[in-house]
Amino acid sequence: MPSGAPKLNNSHTFYFTGRSDGFGSGLSTNSSDARFDPESVRLSRDGKSIFVSDEYGPYIYRFDRESGVRTGVFNLPDNFAVDHLDPVGDVEITANSLGRVANKGMEGLAITPDGSTLVGIMQSALAQDGGDNDGQVLRIVMIDIESGAVTHQYAYQTDTDKKYTASDIVAVNDHVFLVDERDGKGFGDGSEAKFKKLFLIDLAGATDVTNLSGHDDLAAHAVSKRLFLNVVTALKSGLGVTGFDIPAKLEGIAFGEDVLIGGVAKHTLFVANDNDFLPVYPAPPAANGKPNPNQFFVFAFTDANLQAAFGDAAHAELTLEPQIFDKK
């Protein structure tokens, strides 16, 4: 199989490819490689730059919003990278005892409201932290935008019963964040969605795990989390969507504009899916495929909802109001 690395890269003219074999030699975080699978996108406070996280490297890149030129690279520590690269995921996983799991690198990205800090979350645990197994502990990385330095790392424990992953993170303020944790079940997988939940976490006072390694050590210092929204429950009860029609990959979250509903000011939260570029599922030549569009589910909530999520420890879940279900 060809290497996939574009020849133009050898003359320092860079472009990107989603091909899994678009890499060169050395660590997977080599920013001169073409292998790039963008996941989360955040806008700089001044509106001039776009920050993009990637699951192959993992990378975090900055692009000029007007020209599209890559203007910055935020380097993650070497222990986030793998050094035995292979286009076949299972082969790459077997060959590496350190670094990100194949195709499950820096999935989510947030930016603090003051625009000073990027906050990335890995989709799955690093190999040295237990890898992609049930009840994994992921790393959250804080990066100072001005200096490019990684300033802190924190641990996030997924549900301990199943192999769930994190798909995105968004900032509520400079220390409180909303994390999208999910299964891979639902429409696009031929199964029924069970677990799509958004959790609030508070990094104030959390333990820095930069110098720790291994599942148990990280789990002992994982940040506390509170359920903010059970998306499956909300869509079923609020819109009558079946678990088989809820997209398997609900991977993007972002806050929208505030709105007035019944005279009450409310915040909005957008939840979007990734359809993997498959316009129909099952894909041809399978018969009777159904449209598989990108969709946006929009929920309205109040400050009281946020406060409640950090209130009673026995609080099970919030019932937010689904406002939009766009199948177009």
User: What is the secondary structure of 114-155 as a DSSP string?
Assistant: TS-EEEEEESS--GGGT-SSTT-EEEEEEEETTT--EEEEEE
Phi, psi of 173 (to 5 degrees): -150, -160
- Is-contact 66 49, C-beta < 8 A? no
pLDDT attached to residue 311:
66
pLDDT attached to residue 151:
98
pLDDT attached to residue 160:
86
**Of 188, 128, 130, the residue nearest 158 (C-alpha):** 130
Which residue is listed with tokens 């079923």? 236
Residue 211 makes CB contacts below 8 A (sequence gap 6+) with none
pLDDT attached to residue 323:
47
pLDDT attached to residue 87:
86
Q: Is the peptide bond before 279 cis (omega within 30 degrees of 0)?
A: no
The tens-digit pLDDT sequence of the chain (328 residues) is 445 555 555 554 556 777 777 787 789 998 888 788 999 999 999 999 999 999 999 999 999 999 999 999 999 999 999 999 998 889 999 999 999 999 999 999 999 999 999 999 999 999 999 999 888 999 999 999 999 999 999 999 999 888 999 999 999 999 999 999 999 999 999 999 999 999 999 999 999 999 999 999 999 999 999 999 999 999 999 889 999 999 999 999 999 999 998 898 899 999 999 999 899 999 888 888 999 999 999 999 888 887 777 764 333 344 444 444 344 3
Structure tokens at 112: 């603090």
Residue 69: burial class (beta carbons within 10 Å; 0-12, 13-18, 19+): exposed
d(CA 283, CA 291): 10
Residue 135: burial class (beta carbons within 10 Å; 0-12, 13-18, 19+): middle
Structure tokens at 44: 């700089």
d(CA 170, CA 113): 10
- CA–CA distances in Å: residue 106 to residues 101, 114, 117, 139, 166: 10, 22, 16, 9, 10
**Of 151, 153, 132, 127, the residue nearest 141 (C-alpha):** 153
pLDDT attached to residue 304:
82
Helix, strand and coil percent figures for the chain, each rounded to 5: 10, 35, 50
Structure tokens at 315: 């609080």
**Other C-beta atoms within 10 Å of 302: how many?**
15
Structure tokens at 156: 């996030």
